[in-house]
């Protein structure tokens, strides 16, 4: 199994330790590639819109983005992690996700994404863990990923790993181990099932693209949808 991990922080803190507990359960059977943000994607999207209008390779940060995308497309499982920063994902994670705006379904989603699986691990001191996970889930689901599991924790005590009470650490470990056990039972030779929500989004966008193509057959996103056969009978899921 190939796992690609996107860490929303470079800090070896609580988020890091939770992710290590989860990966520890899978290491013996997985080839793991990790990215740490902002180090592995330091630039912000500056809104040049080259990726939307023409080619993603024109982005000033293409070198970083293409490396991450290659690892994502090769992976059987994505693991995204983030602490809550003011109720949301870290700026570094948001900056990376912005770069993948062109991969949202209304633009040029990668067909491989429709069969991918993901786990999101977030934590907060008191509140904001779920909205942090949602920031990430919004992008993944609009990329076409249907199978997304969220492990979100409230520390409610200390924010330094060493100071967190053992009882709390045990509770969090138990949830992560259970999630890893579920992952172990998955047959990764088969793509994940594309759920109804994703299919509905696809058909809504297909209608939009069909209309756009009628008024301008040279429109970049329409040409992409057409060349994949999605305007006709082909679908990105099996």
Ligand X SMILES: Cc1cc2nc3c(=O)[nH]c(=O)nc-3n(C[C@H](O)[C@H](O)[C@H](O)COP(=O)(O)O)c2cc1C
Q: How far is the CB of 122 from ligand X (least distance, A)?
A: 8
Q: Whose Cβ is closer to ligand X: residue 95's or residue 192's?
A: 95
11 sits near ligand X (criterion: CB under 6 A) = yes
Residue number with CB closer to ligand X (65 or 136): 136
Instruction: Please select the residue that binds ligand X; options are 1, 10, 13, 34, rule is CB under 6 A.
Output: 13
Query: Could you tell me if 72 and 109 are in contact, meaning their C-beta atoms sit under 8 angstroms apart?
Result: no
Q: Please report, as residue ranges, which positions from 48 to 77 form the binding site for ligand X (by CB under 6 A).
A: none
Q: Which of 46, 48, 74, 159 binds ligand X (CB under 6 A)?
A: 159
Choices 80-88, 174-182, 189-197, 202-210 (CB under 6 A): range interacting with ligand X: 80-88
- Residue 71 CB, shortest distance to ligand X, in Å, is 22
| Window 184 to 213, contacts with ligand X (CB under 6 A) | none
Can you name the residues that pair with 150 across neighbouring β-strands?
Answer: 120
Q: Interface with ligand X by CB under 6 A: which range of 9-17, 99-107, 139-147, 209-217?
A: 9-17
CA separation, residue 128 to residues 9, 36, 81 (Å): 16, 21, 14
Least distance from ligand X to the Cβ atom of residue 2, Å: 25
Rounded least distance, CB 172 to ligand X, Å: 12
State in angstroms the smallest separation of the CB of 152 from ligand X: 11
Q: What length is written for the chain?
A: 238
Contacts (CB under 6 A) with ligand X, residues 112-141: 123-128
**Shortest Å distance, C-beta 102 to ligand X:** 29
Total residues contacting ligand X by CB under 6 A comes to: 18
Name the residue with the smallest CB distance to ligand X: 13
**Cβ(149)–Cβ(186) below 8 Å:** no
Answer yes or no whether residue 165 interacts with ligand X by CB under 6 A.
no
User: Are 163 and 17 a contacting pair, CB within 8 Å?
Assistant: no
**Interface stretch with ligand X, choices 38-46, 82-90, 206-214, 215-223 (CB under 6 A):** 82-90
Residues of the shown chain interacting with ligand X in the complex, contacts defined by CB under 6 A: 9, 11, 13-15, 83-87, 123-128, 155, 159
């Amino acid at each position: 199994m190939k796992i690609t991990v996107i860490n929303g922080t470079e800090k070896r803190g609580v988020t890091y330790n939770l992710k290590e507990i989860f990966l520890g359960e899978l290491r013996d059977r997985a080839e793991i590639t990790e990215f740490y943000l902002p180090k592995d994607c330091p630039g912000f999207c500056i809104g040049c819109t080259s990726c939307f209008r023409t080619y993603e390779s024109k982005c000033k940060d293409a070198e970083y983005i293409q490396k991450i995308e290659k690892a994502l497309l090769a992976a059987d499982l994505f693991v995204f992690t983030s602490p809550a920063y003011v109720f949301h994902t870290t700026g570094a994670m948001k900056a990376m996700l912005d770069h993948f705006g062109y991969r949202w379904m209304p633009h040029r989603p990668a067909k491989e994404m429709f069969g991918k699986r993901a786990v999101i691990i977030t934590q907060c001191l008191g509140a904001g863990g779920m909205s942090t996970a949602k920031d990430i889930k919004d992008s993944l689901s609009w990329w076409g990923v249907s199978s997304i599991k969220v492990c979100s924790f409230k520390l409610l005590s200390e924010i330094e790993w060493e100071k967190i009470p053992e009882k709390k650490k045990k509770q969090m470990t138990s949830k992560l181990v259970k999630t890893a056990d579920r992952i172990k039972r998955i047959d990764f030779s088969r793509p994940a099932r594309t759920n109804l929500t994703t299919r509905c989004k696809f058909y809504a966008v297909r209608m939009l693209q069909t209309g756009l193509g009628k008024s301008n057959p040279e429109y970049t996103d329409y040409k992409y949808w057409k060349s994949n056969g999605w305007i006709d009978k082909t679908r990105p899921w099996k």
